[in-house]
Amino acid sequence: MGVFLQSLRDGGPSHAVEKSDEGFVVKPRRRTDRAAFNALAREVMEHSGDDYVALPRYDGPANYDRIFIIPLDG
């Protein structure tokens, strides 16, 4: 598992993490600035590829409300 994926899985000031059957879900914290979570979502999408697949879900025209992360084995 790459460093970015592990740091994402650990949670942070702008996001919380919930486990799912195939990976985990990254969600904004209630008090977070929406712009901070949107920036995180864009960064997650840019890093998607070798370590994981990222599937974002939108909450309106310009906001992400969660990102499904599916780690890739080997």
Asked if 56 and 15 touch (Cβ cutoff 8 Å), the reply is: no
User: pLDDT for 29-69, tens place per residue?
Assistant: 876 688 889 999 999 999 998 899 999 999 877 789 999 99
- Looking at residue 32, its pLDDT comes to 67
- Looking at residue 30, its pLDDT comes to 74
pTM over 0.75: yes
Where do the domains of the chain lie, and which CATH numbers do they carry? 3-71 (3.90.1070)
- Looking at residue 35, its pLDDT comes to 87
